[in-house]
Chains A and B, each alone.
Chain A
Amino acid sequence: MRISREDVKHIAKLAELEFSDREIDKITPQLDRILEHVARISAVNTGDVEPASHVLDVNNVFRQDVPSQTVSREDALKNAPLEEEGGFRVPRID
């Protein structure tokens, strides 16, 4: 058992998702099976190999400190679900 119901609740919180008890019943074994399967990599002897955090052999990509086009305020707010006084309105922070 790699992931328990409690684990699922905790992970859901971190991911800002919510599941009903019935959904947790359904999803926990699914996740467990997947994790069980992927955890097989523990069998691979990786020794002191470097983790490949980057696929390319490229380093030092920069941009010049020169202003480039921003979008208009109108465009910035175009998709806003709720706009107020030129900003994005969100409900009370709890």
Chain B
Amino acid sequence: MMDNKKMAGMGKYESIIGLEAHLELETATKMFCGCRLSFGEEKNINTCPVCLGHPGSLPVLNRKALEYAIKVALALNCRINERTIFHRKNYFYPDMPKNYQISQYDMPLGVEGYLEVNMGDYVRRVGITRVHMEEDAGKLIHTGATGRISESGGSIVDFNRAGTPLIEIVTEPDIRTAEEAKAYMTGLRNLLLYLDVSNCSMEEGSLRCDANVSIRTEGEKGLGTKTEIKNLNSFKFLQKGLEYEIKRQEKLLDSGKQVIQQTRHFDNNSGTTKALRSKEEAHDYRYFPEPDLVPIIIDINMVESIKGSIGELPQRKAHRYGEELGLTPYDAGFMAGDRRTAAYFEKCLECFDDAKAVANWIMGDFSALSNKEKMHIADSRVTPEALCRLLKILQGGSISIKIAKTVFEEMFRTGRDPGVIIEEKGLEQISDSGELEALIDKVIEGNPGPVKQYREGKRKAIGFLIGKVMAATKGKANPKIVNEIMKKKLG
């Protein structure tokens, strides 16, 4: 693989990690019925015969869910299968209204994609095996104090979530460290947020992640026995869980024992993984094509139109900002990383051509103020045009940076035009040499001590004198010009 570099050897073992992510789509309705998606309402309030699995109910596919799924697959560079069908995955569990899940099996929506993960000094290209669509199950609330199945007397089922559209994204076992895994999920999340298909929150459960881990001695070709790790519900826990599991497997092999293939549950509190108590037989899901749904034929027009709606993805955009606008990788990454920031940035460039200046301003004061108000810069009162006007004024030299910051704060607070603010408050810089000369003469006259010190070689004394000029003008004097004139007069 081209851009991959192995991390410096972590002892004699190499870890092989594959990740399976599930993404809850933010459509208006469920995958196969017209029920709304739920956000923590009372149980069973958004249900119907279909998502309750009533006898005689039938599924009908949500078109928007399909479009979002194609979007995700395209963004992950997948090949879109022209013909894709749904399969039934059969197993019994109380959160399953039909005791089978409508999912996809051997004809998924997208295959053979990749996501490049920037690790700083190298790039890990993570292969995407498949992207497919399926429906979510309901929620189980286990009675009993701890809420754990093993300690409860029973459970209560809520089907609000049942039928929510899900996208499953499976990677090739290309990931080599826990850190890479975290970086992959972060990168994946940023990409998915960019596509505007989900709010991608691991804490809320709209982005979920399971990991498959195995280790092998370096140089070995075959794969070791893998374990599946579940309950990794934050980036931090993902990394911790993997680090623990890798160490656990290494310890096993070191002491001559074997890794058992099993599903392990990550425990947040102890930071360890524990084998699930249930004696798990390998599931026989008896997959077969879903007879209640017809095949989906995806033609080139549909793909092109969805591609068009994605627009330029962040990685390409950042690259372009670097090449065409000369932004540093960090600045380019910041501007391109968020769709709305990028749009705002590009709007500014329509009326002001110093990209670096715009970027600095957005990354600096603008972001600081917006973050404090918990809003996006695009939702603030400062329009791209207004920001441009401020920058033009600053470029023209009629105000100092310090004044500009003050003006911007006012713009942010009130949405008023910078020109108006400057005039009203009389903040224009005094650059007229005539006016300044007179003032400077006055200061020189009134401060013989520092003047003498300067003339005697103490160059720093000029600071005091300039300060006096600034004070007399309430900061509006153009410091550069004052400096020039002062130096000339002092000799």
Contact = CB atoms under 8 A, between A and B. Distances in A.
B45 to A, nearest CB: 5
B156 interface: yes
A46 interface: no
Interface string B152-164: 1111111100000
A87 B141 contact: yes
Contact of B297 (A16, A60, A76, A91): A60
A85 to B, nearest CB: 6
| 7 A-B pairs with the lowest CB-CB distances in the bound complex, closest first | A68-B34, A65-B64, A87-B156, A53-B289, A62-B63, A86-B43, A88-B157
A73 B45 contact: yes
A66 B44 contact: no
A71 interface: yes
B294 A60 contact: yes
Contacts of A71: 47-49, 52
A65 B62 CA distance: 6
11 contacts: A60-B294, A61-B60, A62-B61, A62-B62, A65-B63, A66-B29, A67-B34, A70-B46, A76-B47, A89-B154, A91-B154
Given A63-B63, A87-B141, A77 B157 contact: no
A76 B65 contact: no
Contacts of A73: 42-45, 47
A8 to B, nearest CB: 15
Given A70-B35, A87-B43, A65 B156 contact: no
A64 B154 CA distance: 38
Interface residues on B, range: 35 or more
B83 to A, nearest CB: 8
Which of B52, B66, B141 counts the most chain A CB atoms within 10 A?
B52
Interface of B: 27-29, 33-36, 42-49, 52, 60-66, 85, 92, 94, 140-142, 149, 152-159, 278, 284, 286, 288-289, 291, 293-297
Nearest to A86: B43
B198 to A, nearest CB: 14
A55 to B, nearest CB: 8
A20 interface: no
A39 interface: no
A40 B48 CA distance: 43
Contacts of A14: 284, 286
A26 to B, nearest CB: 25
Contact of B43 (A59, A61, A85, A91): A85
A47 B44 CA distance: 50
Given A70-B36, A71-B49, A59 B296 contact: yes
A53 to B, nearest CB: 4
B28 A66 contact: yes
A62 B43 CA distance: 28
Contacts of A84: 156
